[in-house]
Amino acid sequence: MKFKRTAISDLIICEPIIRGDDRGYFIETFRQDKLEEFLGFNINFCQDNESKSTYGVLRGLHYQLPPYAQTKLVRVIKGSVLDVAVDIRQDSPTFGQHLAVELTEENKKQLLVPRGFAHGFVVLSEEAIFAYKVDNYYSLECERGIAFDDKKIGVDWKVKLEDLQLSPKDLIQPVFESAEYFKEITKLYV
């Protein structure tokens, strides 16, 4: 597995080595030892999640505040999505900036999204199966979000507004300037 830092250096793209032949392919989708060697510290995932969505479904931008903040390792099993992470760490030099990367069943890329980032994705294919690991459990009380169409963040979701499908919760998220940020991050990954 290869790891690459992005323009927002705490966001890591993980690229598996694909071994294939006429029978199909084989990949390692996760190697804790290799990831920890790259990061320089331990990471402990405790839960795997999976969702199935159709074209235009947008989920996000979501995050959890401490003590239930989460690191996510996200990937696409089927289809393609535009995956987005927004830096919401007030003391970060990239505060308010976002990264958008296409994750597909063909490229098999994964994105490591640490604590202190809001995260979301939109389905670009007819259907997508999206899977991710988290290093902390879900907490309703700590769950927060930011409006997907916030002008300050300025995400180009690559899907026409009239084709987007959002949950009632995601339609009423606050704008970036009204969101609750991470004031201090001592550990991105735990």
Where do the structural domains in the chain lie, given as residue ranges? 2-178
H or E segment and range at residue 122: strand 117-123
Q: CA–CA separation, 7 vs 99, rounded Å?
A: 8
Number of H helices, E strands in the chain: 2, 13
- Residue 181 is classified by DSSP as P
Rounded to two decimals, what is the model's pTM?
Answer: 0.93
Mean pLDDT of the chain: 94
Which residue would you say has higher pLDDT here, 184 or 26? 26
| Lowest-pLDDT range of 9-18, 54-63, 153-162, 176-185 | 176-185
36-to-3, 41, 74, 108, 110 alpha-carbon distances in Å: 11, 5, 16, 20, 15
C-alpha dist (Å) from residue 109 to 7, 12, 46, 51, 136: 16, 10, 21, 17, 22
Task: Tokens for 72, please give them.
Answer: 């996510």
Does residue 186 register a pLDDT over 70? no
Within the chain, what is the greatest distance between any pair of CA atoms? 53
- Cα separation, 58 vs 23, in Å, equals 34
pLDDT band, very low/low/confident/very high, at 183 (cuts 50, 70, 90): confident
CATH code of the domain made up of 2-178: 2.60.120.10
Mean pLDDT value across residues 88-102: 95
Q: What is the mean pLDDT of residues 150-174?
A: 97
pLDDT tens digits, 10-31: 999 999 999 989 999 999 899 8
Q: Choosing from 62, 63, 119, 181, which is the catalytic residue?
A: 62
pLDDT at 88 over 80: yes
Distance CA 175, CA 148 (A): 8
Of 63, 98, 119, 132, catalytic: 132
- Would you say residue 190 has pLDDT above 70? no
Which residues in 77-110 are b (16+ Cβ under 10 Å) and which e? eebbbbbbbbbbbeebebebebbbbebbeebbbb
Q: Hey, which of 22-31, 34-43, 58-67 has the most confident mean pLDDT?
A: 58-67
Residue 187 pLDDT exceeds 60: no
The verdict on whether 132 is a catalytic residue reads yes
Give the Å distances, CA to CA, from 40 to 33, 75, 84, 168, 189. Answer: 10, 22, 24, 40, 11
To the query of whether residue 55 is one of the catalytic residues in this protein, the response is no
